[in-house]
């Protein structure tokens, strides 16, 4: 339900169709600044009609864009990357305002968008086809063609970066895109649209349709949308994957996570403790790559003590931003309360956290809970807040058993000085992205991002080389121009 306040910091958000922001008379939802707990804008809740209009614009733009040579298409992204860098202060401030993350995290997010765009600029070099003379005078070649009109559905936790996981690659590869940002963080998408236009992207190649579930369902059902990428919770990833594929689209749906960090007794105490705390608390724990469960193997109390020290030294509001909403804060607090009631020991308590002057902000302080058992909800379910639970394990295999039992499979890490132990975890962790002495093992371009198990539905990865297959379809062509070539079974 939208607030009746007249003076909002940002005017009502509008959909972006055919290269312009358009007015529409749609129901509105309040958009909050989570650090203040106050309303800053309102976002329209679009439906099937708006999705259809977006598809109409994309369909008009598609023939010319898909036939533009890729080396020309990427020129837009060279300029877009420069614009992202030039406007980093403003873009990062927008991310901080709508999502709450602190300034350095927001800047890192925009820099990551620039890196993703840089990768797209290399696509002419790495997405080229193949050709081979397969028998005398007969050539087989493979060329990549765009899929057509595609859609990208984003979550709230990276308002700038996650849309840029798909925009540069999908569009550079010749597709026209409809972006559905999270209705909780709709501001960044409008600036992305403006910068793409300034970079020279033709009107209609990129659309933004705001809203929630209705837009997502309309995207999944629309007969002219050929591919859907989704990033969000596992619950919704399953809904989207089933619905999009049942209407015969290709779909890559990335879901939630429960990431395990295995800490061995030989791990470097300072590096490990600071990395683990940074991993669990960065972006207020609202990262699908955040440390969530620490498997403390054997004698690791000296490392845990340092972690507690690091966490206690963090200043809320300065080192750590708020979580996204009052509902999130209540959910996270409930998990901590339940774990404590079940016998876990809260070493660092972020409940009832307050920031002076921002008393209505949705803050949760860093929280470390020891002696959690694998059967507790907080050990199994995604908490999505700055909360780390510690489960004690007797050896690395014991730790791996707990990690392997998780239905998720985004990231896992091991902290150790032993190459043998590291290799054991690299081979046996049931996760798509594994780190050794790295708290947030996000692969950087050209390596691809993607989890396993219930952290990803569909084939392939969403970024880097792994995304090329998803955003293109290959055509296999066999040609014979040499009349002297003999006649054989291929003739
Ligand atoms: P979410 O699943 O609630 O929402 C994601 C998108 O789906 C939003 O655009 C939302 O409008 C839409 N949506 C919500 N409910 C829907 C429904 N019932 N039907 C159709 N569409 C619906 O996720 P969120 O809370 O915005 O983001 C946090 C989640 O995203 C966490 O679970 C996190 O782990 C996950 N995430 C995963 C990755 C990854 O790479 N695996 C990356 C970032 C975030």
pLDDT in the model for residue 7: 78
Q: Which atom of ligand 1 is nearest to the CA of 217?
A: 20
Angle at 74 between CA 69 and CA 80, to 5 degrees: 150
> Secondary structure of 466-482 in the HEC alphabet?
HHHHHHEEEEEEEEECC
**Does the beta carbon of 355 sit less than 6 angstroms from any atom of ligand 1?**
no
Distance between CA atoms of residues 179 and 227, nearest Å: 12
Smallest CA separation from ligand 1 atom 6, residue: 155
Asked if 390 and 280 count as a contact pair (C-beta separation under 8 A), the reply is no
Asked if 73 and 65 count as a contact pair (C-beta separation under 8 A), the reply is yes
Q: Examine the pLDDT at 360 and tell me if it is beyond 80.
A: yes
pLDDT in the model for residue 491: 60
pLDDT in the model for residue 6: 59
Q: Examine the pLDDT at 1 and tell me if it is beyond 70.
A: no
Q: Using CA of residue 151, residue 152, residue 155, residue 158, what is the dihedral sign?
A: negative
- Please, where are the H alpha helices in 87-144? 88-99, 103-121, 123-126
Distance between CA atoms of residues 252 and 446, nearest Å: 19
- The residue with tokens 């004690």 is 392
Q: Express each pLDDT in 202-219 by its tens digit.
A: 999 999 999 999 999 999
Asked if 456 and 432 count as a contact pair (C-beta separation under 8 A), the reply is yes
The arithmetic mean of pLDDT across residues 65-85, rounded, is 98
Strands (E) located in 233-344: 250-254, 259-263, 291-297
Question: In terms of DSSP bridges, do strands 130-135 and 138-146 run parallel, antiparallel, or are they unpaired?
Answer: antiparallel
Q: Which atom of ligand 1 is nearest to the CA of 182?
A: 9
pLDDT band, residue 3 (cuts 50/70/90): low
Please, which residues bridge with residue 345 across strands? 370
**Does the beta carbon of 183 sit less than 6 angstroms from any atom of ligand 1?**
yes
pLDDT in the model for residue 483: 72
- Kindly report the average pLDDT of the chain as a whole number: 96
Tell the burial category of 408 from Cβ atoms under 10 Å away from its Cβ (0-12, 13-18, 19+).
Answer: buried
419-440 b/e (C-beta count within 10 Å ≥ 16 → b): eebbebbeeebbbbbbbebbbb
- The residue with tokens 């300072």 is 270
**Does the beta carbon of 285 sit less than 6 angstroms from any atom of ligand 1?**
no
Q: Examine the pLDDT at 412 and tell me if it is beyond 70.
A: yes
Q: State yes or no: is 121 an active-site residue.
A: no
| Residues in Cβ contact with 361 at an 8 Å cutoff, skipping those fewer than 6 apart | 34, 35, 36, 37, 100, 317, 322, 355
**Does the beta carbon of 243 sit less than 6 angstroms from any atom of ligand 1?**
no
Distance between CA atoms of residues 411 and 238, nearest Å: 19
Tell the burial category of 399 from Cβ atoms under 10 Å away from its Cβ (0-12, 13-18, 19+).
Answer: buried
Question: Cα(126) to centroid of ligand 1, in Å?
Answer: 31
Distance between CA atoms of residues 489 and 442, nearest Å: 49
pLDDT in the model for residue 482: 75
- The structure tokens listed for 490 are 């291929």
Question: Cα(233) to centroid of ligand 1, in Å?
Answer: 4
Phi, psi of 60 (to 5 degrees): -70, -40
**Does the beta carbon of 34 sit less than 6 angstroms from any atom of ligand 1?**
no
Smallest CA separation from ligand 1 atom 36, residue: 232
pLDDT band, residue 490 (cuts 50/70/90): low
**Does the beta carbon of 448 sit less than 6 angstroms from any atom of ligand 1?**
no
Asked if 156 and 283 count as a contact pair (C-beta separation under 8 A), the reply is no
Q: Express each pLDDT in 417-457 by its tens digit.
A: 999 999 999 999 999 999 999 999 999 999 999 999 999 99
Helix, strand and coil content of the chain, in percent to the nearest 5, comes to 40, 20, 40
Q: Express each pLDDT in 114-152 by its tens digit.
A: 999 999 999 999 999 999 999 888 999 999 999 999 999
Q: Express each pLDDT in 311-344 by its tens digit.
A: 999 999 999 999 999 999 999 999 999 999 999 9
pLDDT in the model for residue 137: 86
Q: Examine the pLDDT at 2 and tell me if it is beyond 80.
A: no
Q: Examine the pLDDT at 481 and tell me if it is beyond 80.
A: yes
Q: Give 220 or 2, the one with higher predicted confidence.
A: 220
Question: Cα(111) to centroid of ligand 1, in Å?
Answer: 22
165 HSE (CA, 13 A, CB side): 32
Q: Examine the pLDDT at 405 and tell me if it is beyond 60.
A: yes
> Secondary structure of 376-424 in the HEC alphabet?
CHHHHCCCCCCEEEEEEECCHHHHHHHHHHCCCCCEEEEECCCHHHHHH
């Amino acid at each position: 339900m939208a607030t009746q306040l007249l003076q909002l910091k940002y005017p009502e958000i509008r959909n972006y169709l055919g290269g312009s922001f358009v007015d529409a008379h749609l129901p509105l939802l309040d958009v909050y600044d989570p650090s203040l707990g106050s309303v800053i804008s309102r976002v329209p809740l679009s439906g099937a009609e708006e999705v259809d209009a977006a598809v109409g614009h994309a369909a008009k733009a598609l023939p010319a864009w898909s036939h533009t040579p890729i080396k020309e298409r990427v020129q837009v992204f060279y300029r877009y990357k420069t614009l992202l860098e030039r406007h980093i202060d403003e873009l990062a401030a927008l991310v901080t305002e709508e999502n709450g993350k602190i300034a350095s995290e927001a800047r890192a997010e925009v820099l990551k968008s620039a890196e993703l765009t840089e990768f797209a600029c290399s696509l002419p070099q790495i997405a080229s086809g193949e050709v081979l003379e397969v028998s005398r005078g007969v050539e087989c070649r493979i060329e990549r063609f765009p899929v057509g009109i595609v859609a990208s559905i984003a979550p709230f936790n990276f308002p700038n970066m996650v849309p840029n996981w798909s925009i540069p690659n999908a569009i550079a590869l010749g597709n026209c895109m409809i972006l559905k940002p999270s209705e909780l963080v709709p501001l960044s998408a409008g600036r992305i649209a403006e910068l793409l236009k300034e970079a020279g992207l033709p009107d209609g190649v990129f659309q933004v349709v705001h809203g929630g579930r209705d837009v997502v369902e309309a995207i999944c059902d629309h007969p002219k949308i050929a591919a859907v990428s989704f990033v969000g919770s596992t619950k919704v990833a399953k809904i989207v994957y089933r619905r999009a594929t049942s209407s015969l689209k290709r779909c890559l749906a990335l879901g939630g996570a429960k990431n395990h960090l295995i800490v061995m007794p030989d791990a470097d105490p300072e590096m490990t403790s600071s990395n683990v705390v940074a991993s669990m608390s960065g972006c207020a724990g609202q990262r699908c790559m955040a440390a969530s469960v620490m498997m403390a193997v054997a004698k690791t109390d000296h490392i845990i003590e340092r972690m507690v020290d690091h966490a206690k030294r963090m200043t809320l509001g300065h080192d750590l931003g708020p979580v996204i909403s009052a509902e999130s804060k209540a959910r996270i607090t409930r998990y901590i309360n339940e774990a404590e009631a079940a016998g876990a020991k809260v070493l660092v308590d972020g409940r009832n956290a307050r920031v002076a002057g921002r008393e209505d902000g949705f803050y949760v302080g860093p929280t470390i809970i020891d002696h959690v058992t694998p059967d507790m909800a907080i050990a199994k379910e995604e908490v999505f807040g700055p909360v780390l639970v510690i489960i004690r394990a007797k050896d690395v295999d014991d730790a791996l058993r707990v990690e392997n039992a998780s239905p998720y499979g985004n990231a896992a890490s091991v902290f150790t000085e032993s190459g043998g132990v590291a290799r054991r975890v690299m081979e046996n962790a049931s996760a798509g992205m594994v780190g050794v002495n790295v708290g947030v093992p996000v692969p950087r371009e050209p390596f691809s991002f993607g989890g396993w198990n219930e952290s990803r539905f569909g084939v392939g990865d969403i970024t880097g080389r792994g995304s090329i297959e998803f955003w293109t379809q290959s055509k296999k062509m066999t040609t014979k121009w040499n009349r002297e070539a003999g006649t054989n079974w291929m003739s």
